[in-house]
């Protein structure tokens, strides 16, 4: 395998309220990784339109996700922050990957099944081909590491399969064009930490999600202190005390979820949380969780609000980031075209 420069890529869909799951599963890790890697963080608006979106709301959501990136601590001067639709190579490479990926691979994608629901025939072709676009997002930059939440694991595996099949199918041309054994790296998922799958506050068997109709199922990054307090206090629990050891979380998904959230926000493990709160009642624990969540998320929400009031600044960040992203993607796409045999 050829040596690839280490580069981080990840994206977030502008599809509504960003929540604690997006933060702990993805954005907080983006912030950490920028200390040691070159990073590209993308607002994936082409993915958003795989489901119906209202244009004005989509525009506002693109700015909101960008504001969240910056408010959480991503530095758009040192790293690249942009929205996907400004760099045409994502869609162009996705087409190539539509022709590399196999129908059988896409048929296995659980997210398509969940999002298409019972009315599969009426789902968009884009929703079905979503994983090929995601592979293109990553591989347009030949990125090597992709921080994501647990729910994206299967899509990342498909991106690796696409990269590998492209490298094999075009091995001779890749070598003839001086790229050695492989043109694309096999991107590695970075799914780590105490909160890779944050669950709904109303139902511990469901992922916390932007599209959940109940706002009480999630803590939004833009929620104020009172709203956070109300949501945590109303979060579903059970009548037992908190367990003293991890094994005690068996059959208690809501309790485990809240402990995981506390651990991730406080930079500790669930064991540490149980050392402090194990054997105690939920109301004491929930009060401490409210204080912690407000202390961590309050400043982020306030900064997001400040940034959102300055759309010209946000749009400037996106245009500037898109220019830098395009410079990398255009070069890679030109090499892909040569490998494929296109005349340019």
Site for ligand AQP (CB under 6 A): which residue of 8, 26, 156, 258? 26
Q: DSSP state, 198?
A: P
Residues 6+ apart with CB under 8 A from 101: 131, 132, 135, 158, 161, 162, 165
The verdict on 152 binding ligand AQP (CB under 6 A) reads yes
The verdict on 197 binding ligand AQP (CB under 6 A) reads yes
Q: Helix (H, G, I), strand (E, B), or coil: what is residue 197? A: coil
How many whole angstroms separate alpha carbon 124 and alpha carbon 50? Answer: 6
Tell me the backbone φ, ψ of residue 143, rounded to 5 degrees.
-70, 150
How many residues touch ligand AQP under the rule CB under 6 A: the total is 19
Q: Which residue has the tokens 């347009």?
A: 140
Q: Which of residues 111-150 bind ligand AQP (CB under 6 A)?
A: 148-149
Residue closer to ligand AQP (CB basis): 61 or 167: 61
Stretch that binds ligand AQP, among 205-213, 268-276, 280-288, 331-339 (CB under 6 A): 205-213
Site for ligand AQP (CB under 6 A): which residue of 59, 165, 210, 236? 210
The verdict on 158 binding ligand AQP (CB under 6 A) reads no
Q: Helix (H, G, I), strand (E, B), or coil: what is residue 88? A: coil
> ∠ at Cα 261 (260, 267), nearest 5°?
85
How near is the Cβ of 318 to ligand AQP at its closest, in Å? 17
- 220 beta partners: 19
Q: Is the CA virtual torsion 219, 221, 224, 225 positive or negative?
A: positive
* Residues noted as catalytic: 115, 207, 210
The verdict on 260 binding ligand AQP (CB under 6 A) reads no
Q: Is 162:101 a contact under the CB 8 Å cutoff?
A: yes
Site for ligand AQP (CB under 6 A): which residue of 12, 134, 242, 339? 12
The verdict on 211 binding ligand AQP (CB under 6 A) reads yes
How near is the Cβ of 13 to ligand AQP at its closest, in Å? 4
- Where do contacts with ligand AQP occur on this chain (CB under 6 A)? 12-13, 15, 21-22, 25-26, 148-149, 151-152, 196-198, 207-211
């Amino acid at each position: 395998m050829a040596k690839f420069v280490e580069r981080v890529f990840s994206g977030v869909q502008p599809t509504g309220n960003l929540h604690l799951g997006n933060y702990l599963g993805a954005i907080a890790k983006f912030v950490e990784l920028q200390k040691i890697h070159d990073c590209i963080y993308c607002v994936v608006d082409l993915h958003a339109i795989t489901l119906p979106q209202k244009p004005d709301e989509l525009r506002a959501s693109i700015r909101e996700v960008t504001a969240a990136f910056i408010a959480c601590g991503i530095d758009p001067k040192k790293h690249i922050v942009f929205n996907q639709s400004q760099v045409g190579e994502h869609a162009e490479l996705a087409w190539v990957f539509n022709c590399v990926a196999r129908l059988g691979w896409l048929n296995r994608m659980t997210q398509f099944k969940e999002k298409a629901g019972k009315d599969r025939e009426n789902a968009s072709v884009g929703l079905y081909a979503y994983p090929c676009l995601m592979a293109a997002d990553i591989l347009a930059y030949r990125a090597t590491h992709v921080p994501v939440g647990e729910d994206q694991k299967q899509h990342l595996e498909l991106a690796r399969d696409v990269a590998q099949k492209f490298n094999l199918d075009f091995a001779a041309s890749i070598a003839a064009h001086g790229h050695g054994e492989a043109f694309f790296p096999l991107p590695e998922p970075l799914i780590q930490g105490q909160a890779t799958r944050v669950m709904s506050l109303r139902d511990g068997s469901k992922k916390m999600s932007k599209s959940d109709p109940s706002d009480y199922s999630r803590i939004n990054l833009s929620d104020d202190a009172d709203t956070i307090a109300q949501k945590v206090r109303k979060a579903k629990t059970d009548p037992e005390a908190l367990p003293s050891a991890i094994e005690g979380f068996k059959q208690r998904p809501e309790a485990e979820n809240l402990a995981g959230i506390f651990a991730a926000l406080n930079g500790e493990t669930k064991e540490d949380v149980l050392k402090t709160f194990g054997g105690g009642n939920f109301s004491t624990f929930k009060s401490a969780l409210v204080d912690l969540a407000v202390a961590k998320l309050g400043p982020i929400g306030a900064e997001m609000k400040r940034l959102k009031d300055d759309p010209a600044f946000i749009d400037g960040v996106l245009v500037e980031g898109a220019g830098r992203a395009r410079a990398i993607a255009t070069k890679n796409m030109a090499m892909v075209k040569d490998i494929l045999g296109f005349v340019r």
